Homo-oligomer: A and B are copies of this chain.
Amino acid sequence: MGQGLGYLSGPARLAGPDEGISREELALATRNHGLPLEALRYDVTPPGLHYVLTHYDIPYADDGWRLTVGGRVRRPLRVTPADLAAFPAVTTRVTMECAGNGRALLTPRPVSQPWLVEAVGTAEWTGVPLRVLLDEAGAAADAVDVVFTGADHGVERGVEQDYQRALPLDVALGRDPEVLVAYAMNGAPLPPQHGCPLRLVVPGWYGMAHVKWLRDITVSDAPFTGFQHTVAYRLRQEPDDEGEPVTRIAPRALLVPPGFPDFMSRTRVVRPGPVRLEGRAWSGRAPLTGVEVSTDGGATWDPAVLDPPDPGGDSRWAWRRWHADWTAVPGHHVLAVRATDEEGDQPSGPLWNRGGFANNRVQRQPVLCLAAHDEPA
């Protein structure tokens, strides 16, 4: 089969020095979408604005959906989404980010879904803790990994596959974060593009772990070696490196672009005077410790006011709002914002790996402040 599929499914590659975004990358960018940055204003991202990345097709779910829990368990399960809704429900507010966020800003650019900085969103996910389901099924004492299989099917780098990811048993059974098998997003059934009818939610981890269209959970006594663990989603400098797995979300802050945009360049326009800068910051790696803002392209930094975590419910894994005040003067400016967590801060300089993963390099936002007399007609 490799020969047939090899024709259409080449190896991973890096763009050439002057190579613009290709037709293939564009086809992914028109299907998938980021969070329009002005939507950072919402505590919880409204449906349709949360980022979406689908490896293959969005499956067409029908009433016959069943989730199986098997492998190294004493009591295999086969349940409907309605069966899951009969368990005590847990709702958690979670910021999710694509592991490839920032990829298209790398040089050389890894050719894949070409995200800039917008592959993020925050939702309230409702479901059953995974540990409750694994307890119900009775995971065996020799269990090592828990493997999650989605209904999305396709080819990647010549390998035909269902989308599959795994978690180590201790993460799968953990309470902080508590992994969910979710059936609702923001209080409504999951939309098709977010995994209808069931998906995994792994708070603090990049999006690849949150398996959508979940149809099987298999407890395994051996480490999982599937494509999405051993080929994709590893941090490598060279193609033959073993590489480190991509896991938790590195810290990042983003800005609600101030003023108003130019349609084509997306440069922002403001008028002289006070401008409230605001945005969101998050980390899945360690608790946030602060956010800083620069209005001179990163030459100097001032602390922003970082709101406490939302007091309502469990929001340790959700972004936090920050704000800072700026007095704009006429001319060209570059705004920047960076988050720091207990393990460090966002890099200002190059950060590169062949897959283009976890690039949390500081966002730079050009702003033109008009002269005071440049009033609209």
Chain A contact residues, CB within 8 Å of chain B: 1, 4-5, 7-10, 19-34, 36, 38-39, 41, 46-49, 52, 54-58, 60, 104, 111-112, 114-116, 118-119, 153-157, 160, 191-194, 257, 260-267, 269, 332, 366, 368, 370-371, 374-377
Contact = CB atoms under 8 A, between A and B. Distances in A.
Q: Which 9 residue pairs are nearest across A and B when measured between Cβ atoms?
A: A20-B20, A33-B33, A21-B21, A48-B48, A8-B267, A1-B374, A29-B29, A155-B262, A156-B263
Given A31-B33, A263-B154, A192 B56 contact: no
A325 B256 CA distance: 49
B155 A30 contact: no
Contacts of A34: 30-31
Given A155-B269, A261-B56, A46 B4 contact: no
How many copies of this chain are found per oligomer? 2
A28 to B, nearest CB: 8
A266 B27 contact: yes
A156 B116 contact: no
B160 A264 contact: no
A263 B29 CA distance: 12
A58 B38 contact: yes
A330 to B, nearest CB: 8
Nearest to A116: B30
A117 to B, nearest CB: 9
